[in-house]
Structure 1
Amino acid sequence: MADLLKVENIRCSDAEWPIRKPLSLRLKEGEIGVILALGRPIADTLLRAIQGQVGLDAGRIVLAGDPIAGGGTGISSVGRNCRLVPADGALVPHLSVAQNIQLVMRGLNKRQRQEQLDQLLDEVDLLHAADLLADHLPAEERQRTALARALVAQPQLLLWQEPFAPYPEGEQMALVDEIEQILQARRLTCLITTANVRAGMALAQRLGVCDDERLLQWDSPERLYHCPAQRDVARATGNGVFLQGFVQPDNSLSSELGGLRFSQDNDWIRTGRPIEFLLRPEHVRFEKRGLRCATITSKRFLGGYIDYRLLLEEGSVIPVTAPSQIDLALGKKFCFRVDMPHLMVFRPDKEEPVDLGRAYSIG
C-alpha cells in the first residue's frame, strides 16, 4: 500500500512549540498513526503544520503524492484534503451542535444538508444532542461535534489531538473500538497525538514517541515496545526497569536475575564493562522451582492478573505481572525464571541499545 502522508525533515520555528530538529515520518493509506507526546507537545505542532496552520522553515510535506508544504509549495489549510480535530473542539459556543456542523457544509440544498447532518450525528452518536448549545456540552460531546465537523469535508487524512482526554479511564478502551469503526467505515487515514499510552498503543498501526525536541522513534507498536530505540522510548511505552549486568564471553549475562543466555553475538559488548538492560513485567515468569526467588513487597489484584513488586536479594525492585491464579501473600517468596523475546542492552556511553535476541534463565 502506498504512502498517503510523507513528512520529510521538517522544521518549524514560528510556533508555540517549535520543531527545531528535523522530523520525518510516513503513514500509509488507511493506517492509523499515533504519536505519544512527552513533555512539550511538538507533536501538536506537527499536526498544525500538516493542516497548514504553521509554516515550515525546512523540509516538506506530501499528501497523496502532492507536495502541500515546503520546497516552494504552499497550499492553504482550506485547500488541503485533511482536517484537524482540535483538543478543545474549537466550536462556536452560542450555536447548537447541529448549527456548528452545518457551518462547514457547502454546496448542498436544504434536504441534502439535513440528510448529511443526520448521518453525521448518527455516526458520532450525537442524535440526542443536536439542539444543545455547544457551550452546554460535556467535553466528550464537544469533541464528537468537532469530529463530525471534520468529517463533513470527507478528508483523505484526519488529524486528531487528544481523543481520549475527555473520557474517564473506564471508557477509553471502548473509544478505541469506536474510533476504529468510524475510520474503517470511511477508509480514512488518521494521525493522532495523545499522552494516553494504553489506548494509543491499542489503536495504533504506526506508533511514535515524541519528547520536547524530536520524534524519538516511529515504527510498529510491537517494535517500539519490544525494541525501543532509546531509554525514553522504553519508559514511555510501558512498565519496566533498567538493571545492571555484565556480559560474559560465552554469550551470557550475569545480573541480579542470575545468569541469562542470549542468542545473538555482538562485538562491542565483550569489553567487560557494565551495561544496562530492559526488563518488562511479562519477562518474569512464575515457576514454583524457579532458579531465582524474590520477596513480594506489594501486590495489586487487577482481575485477570496480579501486579506484583518483587525485591531482589541485591536490592532492586522489579515489576511482575502474573495470572490471578498465582495469588501469593505479601512477604512470601516469588520464584521465577526469565524469558524475554529481545534482550535490549544499553551501554553507558550510548543512547541507542543493541538487541541481543531472545534471552532466558540459565543455572
Structure 2
Amino acid sequence: MLEADKLTRSFDEVAAVRNVSFRLEPGQIMALVGASGSGKSTLLSLLAGLTDADAGEVRLNHERVPGPSEVLVPGHPAIRLVHQEYQLMPNVSVRQNIAYAVRYYEPAYRDFRVNELLKRCHLTDVQDRLPRQISGGEKQRTAIARAVADKPAVLLLDEPFSHLDLPNRQIVRDMVFALVRQEQTACLFVTHDATDALSIAGSLGILRHGRLIQLDSPIAVYRRPVTAYAARMTGTVNVIRAKHLPALGVSSTKPADALCLIRPESVRLAETGVMATIRAVFFKGVHYEVEAEVSRYVCLRTLTTQDGLQPGQVIHLELDPSAIWWVNE
C-alpha cells in the first residue's frame, strides 16, 4: 500500500505540489489528470523518492520512503517510475534491457521471467532489436516490462500514452491493465488526457495548481465534477451561467453568475424544443458532435448518430434537467 500524506513541494517559492494526500492499494490503478504545470511529474518524483518533500511524507506499507538527501542512491527498490522518455539503454537489445532488471536472479528464473514479459508485452518479435530500431509503442512496452520485471510493489507512469498513435495507445493501455491485475502491483499514472484514465483507472484524481481537488471513481468524477476545470479535464462539457438557463427552457433559483454543467450526451436533438443554429459538425466515428448556437451567449454541444447535419441548419434541442450539475467557479 502506497500512501501520500500531505505532500508539499515548492520551487523558487512557487508551489508545484500542495498538501496532496491519497492511498493506493495493491492491484489498483489510479489516474491523476491535470493540465501542463499542474504538478503531475513533480508528484511522481516525490512518490518515487527522487525528490525531497518540503512537508508531508510518502509511506510504503506504513514505512516512510526516504528522499534523495537521505540515501546514497535515490529511489526505493520497490517503487518503479517509467519516464516519458523511456530511458532505455540504447546499445543493448530489447531482451537485454528487460533482463537487466533481473540480473541478480538465478539464470533459469531470469530467462523464464524475461520470456514471460516478452510474450505478455507483445515484444517477442523485436526482442533482438536495439531501442532505436523499434517503434514508440514498442519502446514504451519495453520500458514498462523492464519496470515490472522484478515485481515491484508500485508502478508509476508519467504520461504513458501521450506519444503513441491510437493503435499503440490501445495496446499499451490494455497491457498495463492486464499486468496490474496479474501482478497485483499498485499502479499510478499521470496524464493530461482523460480518455485513457476513464477507461482503465479504478480511481481518478484531478490536479490543479498542485492541489488534488477531486478524487473519486471515474464515473463519479465524470458525472459529478467539483469544478468546471474538473469537468473540462474529463471530457467535453457545456458550461452555462444560471442567467442563461431560461433561454434553454430551464428555470433556476441560483444566482445569475452561478455555473452549471451538462454533458453533450444529455443534450438531444428533438422535433420540438429550444431552437439552435448549427455552427460546426465533428465526425467522431460512432457519432457526430454538433456545436449549435442557441443565442449570442449560449452554444451547446450535443452528440447524435444522425447523418446529413450541416452548419447553418436550424435544429431543436432538449436538455435533461436531471443531468444539470452545479459547480463552483
Q: CA deviation at 1:120?
A: 1.5
What's 2:4 paired with?
Answer: 7
What's 2:289 paired with?
Answer: 307
Counterpart code for 1:259: V
Secondary structure, counterpart of 1:182 in structure 2: helix
Give yes or no for contact 2:8–2:53 (8 Å, CA) kept in 1. Answer: yes
For the pair 1:276 / 2:259, whether they are aligned, the reply is yes
Secondary structure, counterpart of 2:137 in structure 1: helix
Q: CA deviation at 1:342?
A: 4.4
Of the candidates 108, 113, 131, which is equivalent to residue 110 of structure 2?
A: 113
Give yes or no for contact 1:293–1:334 (8 Å, CA) kept in 2. Answer: yes
What's 2:277 paired with?
Answer: 295
Give yes or no for contact 1:239–1:280 (8 Å, CA) kept in 2. Answer: yes
Give yes or no for contact 1:293–1:335 (8 Å, CA) kept in 2. Answer: yes
Give yes or no for contact 2:140–2:172 (8 Å, CA) kept in 1. Answer: no
For residues 97 and 107 of structure 2, what CA distance do their matches in structure 1 show? 16
Q: CA deviation at 1:23?
A: 1.4
For residues 313 and 324 of structure 2, what CA distance do their matches in structure 1 show? 28
What's 1:229 paired with?
Answer: 226
Between the two proteins, the alignment pairs up a number of residues equal to 327
For residues 296 and 190 of structure 1, what CA distance do their matches in structure 2 show? 43
Secondary structure, counterpart of 1:12 in structure 2: strand
Q: CA deviation at 1:77?
A: 4.9
What's 1:47 paired with?
Answer: 44
Of the candidates 290, 293, 298, which is equivalent to residue 316 of structure 1?
A: 298
What TM-score comes out, normalization by structure 2 length?
A: 0.89
What's 1:335 paired with?
Answer: 316
RMSD: 2.7
Q: CA deviation at 1:76?
A: 6.2
Larger Rg: 1
Counterpart code for 2:41: D
For residues 33 and 284 of structure 1, what CA distance do their matches in structure 2 show? 30
Give yes or no for contact 1:67–1:73 (8 Å, CA) kept in 2. Answer: no
Q: CA deviation at 1:113?
A: 2.1
For residues 243 and 44 of structure 1, what CA distance do their matches in structure 2 show? 32
Of the candidates 191, 196, 200, which is equivalent to residue 193 of structure 2?
A: 196
What's 1:258 paired with?
Answer: 249
Give yes or no for contact 1:27–1:206 (8 Å, CA) kept in 2. Answer: no
For residues 15 and 100 of structure 2, what CA distance do their matches in structure 1 show? 31
Higher helix proportion (structure 1 or 2): 2
Give yes or no for contact 2:10–2:17 (8 Å, CA) kept in 1. Answer: yes
Give yes or no for contact 1:18–1:45 (8 Å, CA) kept in 2. Answer: no
Give me the identity figure in percent.
26
- Unaligned 5+ segments in structure 2 are none
Q: CA deviation at 1:297?
A: 2.2
For the pair 1:163 / 2:144, whether they are aligned, the reply is no
Secondary structure, counterpart of 2:161 in structure 1: coil
For residues 80 and 129 of structure 2, what CA distance do their matches in structure 1 show? 24
Counterpart code for 1:292: V
Q: CA deviation at 1:41?
A: 5.4
For residues 177 and 17 of structure 2, what CA distance do their matches in structure 1 show? 33
For residues 57 and 41 of structure 1, what CA distance do their matches in structure 2 show? 17
Which structure ranks higher in relative contact order (CA pairs < 8 Å, sequence separation ≥ 6)? 2
Secondary structure, counterpart of 2:22 in structure 1: strand
What TM-score comes out, normalization by structure 1 length?
A: 0.81
For residues 25 and 270 of structure 2, what CA distance do their matches in structure 1 show? 43
Secondary structure, counterpart of 2:250 in structure 1: strand
Give yes or no for contact 2:242–2:260 (8 Å, CA) kept in 1. Answer: yes
